[in-house]
Each structure stands twice: as structure tokens, then as C-alpha cells.
Chains A and B, each alone.
Chain A
Amino acid sequence: MDESIVRTEEQEFLEEDICVAENLVYKKPKTLTDIDLHYCPGCGHGVVHRLLMEVVEEMDIQDKVIGVAPVGCAVFAYNYMDIDMQEAAHGRATAVATGIIRVLPDKLVFTYQGDGDLAAIGTAETLHTCNRGENILIVFINNAVYGMTSGQMAPTTLPGMVTTTSPFGRDVKTMGYPLKMTDLVAQLPGTYYVTRQAVNNASNVRKTKKAIQKSFQYLQQKKGTCFIEVVSNCPSNWKMTPVEANKFVEEKLIPFYPLGDLKVPKEELK
């Protein structure tokens, strides 16, 4: 340390007394690369990336995990996660994951997909992958909008919600109803664990992490498809500040997409 720099007492306190190992509550997992995330401030994508990579580090499964990135805002997920990854065509992540898990059955394969990717263009692949019970984890980021292409209506857009292609609000009579894919896949015998979580506050972030941990454990036991919907946000296209966006998640999205497990393994039911 450069002794010549004059410090206030407050600064000395900060550096020497607080930033010590025993006080450390958060540290970037080694399984995240040093590349700067391109996500907008407040976006849920970054949080879920971190959670996934924390779990990979804590479970020491970096050499087992293979990820599949979507087409959507998370298209560059492979830049941030320090694991082997494949970038799939729009909507086809679960087909790509099927190809991987079928030839490398001892690996832990996950897809990471938005609502447009998973619940619109990729609906058939999503349903059939779950129906076959492929031993993969599907992480479904529901932000009720097409983020990457700048805010068009998604299959998950709420009734009445304004987007660039539903400028007067989503009229369910002509534009269809929000598609609850998570409820659908929970009905399929191939899925083993289906849950809906969120990352809008610290408590929900912790629960989402728990769901990811459980899913990788189930994959290790070859139990079948695990499906985690994360009710997320898109401050930029919702035209909100991050704080307003998380409030919208709390007040509008979560009431429509209630959080919690939709299907839990029978042996864990008491």
C-alpha cells in the first residue's frame, strides 16, 4: 500500500476492517469469465447466469456441465459462463440439448431460454423434449416480452400489457392468451421437477438458486427433465427503471404467474 496517500479514518476503516475474508458474503464464482456482461442495468439475466455458475462451482461439476444458449438476449451466455456451450438456433435449444445428452448421457446438460424462444418458436421442441423426459435442465427466463428484438409481444405478455406489437395493450380476443408453458409441462409424465421462481428480491434469488442446485442433483441421478421458470424482467423494453421493473414483477407478473413448485418428486412429498 502506498503510504504517501493521505486517507480519512473512514476509508481506513472500510478497507482494513470490512474487506477481510471472514466478512466476505459474496464473491464472483470462478466459473464466470471476466468478460463484462452486456445486459441492461437491473436485468434478471445476469442474476440467473451468476446463480447457475455459483452452483456449478459449489457442486464442482464444471467438467460435467454442457450449456445450450438460446437466440434472445442471452445469446452470448457462452461468453460469460466458463463451461463448454453450444449456441442453438432460435427455439431449438432443447433439440440441441437432446442431441448432446443422448450421445453424452453422463453429462449434465442445461438449456437457457427466453419466453419467445421456448414458448413461441420452440414450443414443439419444448413439449416433446419434456414429454420424452430427456435428462436435462431447462431454465426458462420469462420476461413477458421479446427483449433482444426490442420489446415485441411475447406468448407470456400479460392481457392488456403494452408492447411494441400490442401498442394498445394485449387484446386476448385477437392476440391470444398468455401461454403458461410451465403449467403445461408439469402435466407431462416426462418431467420430474417443475418449479416457478423469480429473482426480483434477495429471498427469491436464494430460492431460485436452491431450485438450480436440486435440478443438477436430479440430473446426476438421471431422473428426467427438470424445468425452472424464472419470472424475470426487462427494464429497458418495459420502459421502467430497475426498481420500477421489480415492482412490476411483484405486483403484476407474479400474481399471474404464481411462484412455487408445480411438480415435486414423489419421494420428497411427505
Chain B
Amino acid sequence: MGELRLMKGNEALAEAAIRAGCDAYFGYPITPQSEVLEYLSREASNRTGMIVLQAESEVASINMIYGAAGAGKRAMTSSSSPGISLMQEGISYIAAAELPCLIVNVNRGGPGLGTIQPSQGDYFQATKGGGHGDYKLIVLAPSSVQEMADFVRLGFDLADKYRNPVMILADGAIGQMMEKVELFEQQPKGGTIPKPWATTGKTKDRERNIITSLHIDPREMEKINLRLQAKYKEIQEKEVRYETFKVEDAEYILTAFGLGARICKKVVELGREKGYKIGLIRPITLFPFPSKIFKEISTKVKGILDVEMNAGQMVEDVRLSVEGKTKVEFYGRMGGIIPTPEEILDYFEKIFLKGE
């Protein structure tokens, strides 16, 4: 059993970064995740020698990640919605140059400066690329403080394995709430996968290494795009993760990710007390999206209710997955409002049982 601690989500994430052997963190303060930079500034350098630098902006921090990841190191940044928007050009370059790194978005309510309250409004931005060009991030959605810690290590491992940026898409509530967390053991700095492509200084025994995303010849550029797409397909085949809860006999399915899924677990329990056969599917990887389980279940259930803290974003992926074989309804709250289990159950009854 690992070390047990009572921690905030953001602190658990920061602690996990140190333990996952992260070499460098570059970030800029923004609520609701400034604890990550604060915690690391306090803890990291004397424990593992990890570099922690407060950059002048999110534009600078994401490009520092590019440099450090290109030099073969485990690099990460964290921010919240407006800051992540500012990073998008850099993220596109990182995806194109195939640099492994970890980007954390502790999602707050938008659009614009919005609110510092929790939201899931950045689902589209996270899962559909976010910046310019055809690329994907691997997106992990934690729904507990425990997963805030565990997904840091998983995220770095996936990033290194596929040479692809990984995003942890959390929200303000997961970042701020305190829970018991079991911490994994200290891992070696920099991970274990060799990075012979990194710019570490050209030695006599090898050709020079170049990190770039520029390919002026369109035939070359298309080839690179095809290679990237093949990689994303492989990720879709091998890295889908999701959790199910009481789906075996379910007539209706709730689906939600992150914080929404925790609330929906309660809805399932409340509904079952009233005799409704409800289950829950919680996508853990938002890209790759767990389409198969939705497709399989679509012929066995009477309907799916997708619950999100936004205007309806993941619901599009659910609808694409079921290919019209069952009814997919949506319930959402926006602007930093967290829905209660009772209001979700009310909506469920209204839409599926009372046929309103």
C-alpha cells in the first residue's frame, strides 16, 4: 500500500508530477489551479531536482515545454481555460513535432474570462484538437483526487509511448476538493523510454537531430499527416478507458465524465432506490472516445441521458457512437453551476418515464 494522504486535487496532481519523475514544469498562475505551481515551487527542486519555472505567460510556458520535451525530458504545464486557449498554437506545434508532454486543464466556466467556478466547457477544445491542423491529444478525465494523481503517471507514460501530448481535463471542483489519496512510489526521473530523437547535442556517432513541424513540400506534409492519423487510430484501438456502474441489467444509461460522473453515480443509486434500472458509463479517455461500449449497449437499452457541465459537447460523440440506434438525451448546466443528483433524476423521469 502506498502512502495515504488527505490532499486537494491540485496538490495531489503536483505531488504525482514529482513522483512520476517529471523533469520540468513551466506554468503561469490562474485560478482554479494555481496550487500546482505553488506546491511544486515549494516541494519539487529539493526532492528530485525538478525544474520549476514561473513563465511570463502561457504562451511562453507551452513553448518552454516544447524546448524541454524536444530535449528529451519529461515536461509538463498546467493552466485553466483562458490560459489553455492561449497555448493552442504551441500545442499544435508540439503535436506536429510529436513531442511527449503533459498539459493539465483545470477547466473553469467560460466563454471569455467567464467564472472561476468548475465547468466542462472545454471538452471540444480538448478532444477535437484545439489549435490549427489535424491533430489529437490523448485526453484523460479524472473524477477523483486519486485519479488526479494516478493520471499524471499514466499521462506521462502514454505521452512517451506514443510521442504525443497528453491532456488531463479536470475541472475546478476536482482541483479544489480534498480527498484521501494513495500515492505511488517515486519513479525514476525522465521515465524509462529512450528518446534517441531528442536534441541533446550532435555527437560524432549520429546524424543531427531536428525538432520541427515545417514540411514545405505538400507531398511530404501529407505523408506526415497520414502517419499522425495512423498513430491516432492505433491509440483509438489500444488506449480506450472507461468505467461502467450497474449497466448489466440497465434499461437506461446515464453517461458523464469527470465530476459529472460522480454526481451521476448518486443519481443511479437514487434511481435504483425508486426501482428504475439505470446504469452509468463514465468515459475516462475522452480521446480516444469509448465508442464501442456505447454502440454495444445502444441495442439493449431504451435510452441514454448524457449529463455535462456545458451546453452539450460529449453528447455529440455519444450520438455518433450509437448511430441512431437509441435515443440520446442531454442535460447540462453551464457557467460554473454544478447540477444536483435530484435535478438530474427529475429530468431523467420527465424525459424517459413521463414522456415529456
Does A64 reach chain B (CB closer than 8 Å)? yes
Within 8 A of A (CB), among B183-217: 199-204, 208-214
Whether the pair A84, B210 counts as a contact (CB closer than 8 A) is: yes
> How many residues of B sit at the interface, in one of the four size bands?
35 or more
In the complex, which residues 192-248 of chain A have their Cβ closer than 8 Å to any Cβ of chain B?
A: none
Among B51, B63, B214, the most chain A Cβ lie within 10 Å of the Cβ of: B63
Cβ of B93 under 8 Å from chain A: yes
A102 within 8 A of B: yes
Residues in A with CB closer than 8 Å to B26 are: 99
State whether the Cβ of A125 lies closer than 8 Å to any Cβ in chain B. yes
The reply to whether the CB of A128 lies closer than 8 angstroms to some CB of chain B is: yes
Cβ–Cβ contact B201 & A103, under 8 A:
no
* Majority-rule SS of A interface residues: mixed
Q: Given known contacts A84-B209, A89-B89, is B71 in contact with A128 (CB within 8 Å)?
A: no
Known: A87-B214, A99-B75, A125-B60. A64 touches B68 (CB 8 A): no
Is B18 engaged at the interface, CB distance under 8 Å to the other chain? no
Q: Report how far A98 CA is from B51 CA in the complex, Å.
A: 11
B201 touches A98 (CB 8 A): no
Residues of A within 8 A of B67 (CB): 68, 86, 88, 95-100
Q: Do A63 and B203 touch across chains, with their CB atoms under 8 A apart?
A: yes
CA–CA, A63 and B89, complex, Å: 30
Determine which of A64, A78, A103 lies in contact with B23 in the assembled complex, contact meaning CB atoms within 8 Å.
A103
Measured between beta carbons, the chain A residues less than 8 angstroms from B214 are: 75-76, 87
Query: Would you call A78 and B210 a contact (CB within 8 A)?
Result: yes
Task: Determine the chain A residues whose CB is within 8 A of the CB of B212 once the complex forms.
Answer: 69, 78, 86-87
Is the pair B200, A128 in contact by a Cβ cutoff of 8 Å? no
Interface residue count on the A side (C-beta < 8 Å)? 32
Known: A100-B67, A103-B24. A85 touches B201 (CB 8 A): no
A84 to B209, CA, bound (A): 5
A82 adjacent to chain B (CB < 8 Å):
yes
Compute how far the CA of A66 lies from the CA of B64 in the bound complex, rounded to whole angstroms.
15
CA distance A32 to B292 in the complex (A): 53
Q: Which of A75, A87, A95 contacts B64 (CB 8 A)?
A: A95
Q: Which residues of B contact A89 (CB under 8 A)?
A: 63, 66, 89-90, 93
B261 close to A (CB within 8 Å): no
Q: B23 — which chain A residues lie within 8 A by C-beta?
A: 103
Give A66 to B55 CA distance when docked, in angstroms. Answer: 21
Chain B: which residue is nearest A109 at the CB level?
B67
Q: Which B residues touch A185, using CB under 8 A?
A: none
Nearest-neighbour CB distance to chain A for B206, whole angstroms, equals 10
Whether, in the assembled complex, B115 has its beta carbon less than 8 Å from a beta carbon of chain A, the answer is no
Contact across chains for B75 and A83 when beta carbons are under 8 A apart: no
Q: Is the CB of B199 within 8 A of A96?
A: no
CB under 8 Å from chain B, chain A span 140-171: none
Enumerate chain A residues within 8 angstroms of B89, measured Cβ to Cβ. Answer: 89
CA distance A69 to B67 in the complex (A): 12
Distance between A33 CB and nearest chain B CB, rounded to angstroms: 8
Q: Contact: A104 with B71, CB < 8 Å? A: yes
B88, chain A: closest CB distance, angstroms: 11
When the two chains form the complex, which single residue of B69, B202, B210 contacts A62, counting CB atoms closer than 8 Å?
A: B202
Cβ of B98 to closest chain A Cβ, rounded Å: 13
Which residue of chain A is the closest to B209 with respect to CB atoms?
A84
Q: Judge if B59 is at the interface, Cβ distance under 8 Å.
A: yes
Within 8 Å by CB of B210, from A85, A95, A98, A128, lies A85
- On whether the beta carbons of B211 and A85 are closer than 8 Å, the reply is yes
Q: Residue A51 at the B interface, CB < 8 A? A: no
A124 touches B201 (CB 8 A): no
CB of B319 closer than 8 Å to a CB of A = no
Assess whether B53 is interfacial by the CB under 8 Å rule.
yes
| Most B-side CB within 10 Å, residue of A68, A83, A104 | A104
Bound together, the chains give a CA A95 to CA B201 distance in angstroms of: 19
Q: Is A65 in contact with B201, judged by CB distance below 8 angstroms?
A: yes
CB distance from B33 to the nearest CB of A (A): 20
B65 within 8 A of A: yes
Q: Name A39-92 residues within 8 Å CB distance of B.
A: 62-66, 68-69, 75-76, 78, 82-89, 92
* Chain A residue with the shortest CB-CB distance to B64: A99
CB proximity of A259 to chain B, nearest CB, Å: 30
Please give, as numbers and ranges, the residues of chain A lying within 8 Å of B68 by CB-CB distance: 99-100, 102-103
Residues of A within 8 A of B199 (CB): 66, 84-86, 100
Q: Contacts A84-B200, A85-B211, A102-B24; is A125 near B63 (CB within 8 Å)?
A: yes
10 cross-chain pairs, A with B, having the tightest CB-CB distances, nearest first: A99-B67, A95-B63, A99-B64, A84-B199, A96-B67, A87-B212, A99-B68, A92-B63, A128-B56, A86-B211
Residues of B within 8 A of A (CB): 23-24, 26, 51, 53, 55-57, 59-61, 63-71, 73, 75, 89-90, 93, 97, 199-204, 208-214
Extra pairs beyond A84-B210, A124-B57 (15, CB < 8 Å): A65-B201, A66-B200, A66-B201, A75-B214, A84-B209, A87-B97, A89-B90, A95-B55, A96-B63, A98-B60, A103-B23, A103-B71, A107-B201, A124-B56, A128-B60
Show 6 residue pairs from A and B whose CB-CB distance is below 8 angstroms, ordered by the A residue: A75-B214, A82-B208, A87-B97, A87-B210, A92-B63, A104-B201
Question: Which residue numbers of A lie inside 8 Å of B, CB to CB?
Answer: 62-66, 68-69, 75-76, 78, 82-89, 92, 95-100, 102-104, 107, 124-125, 128
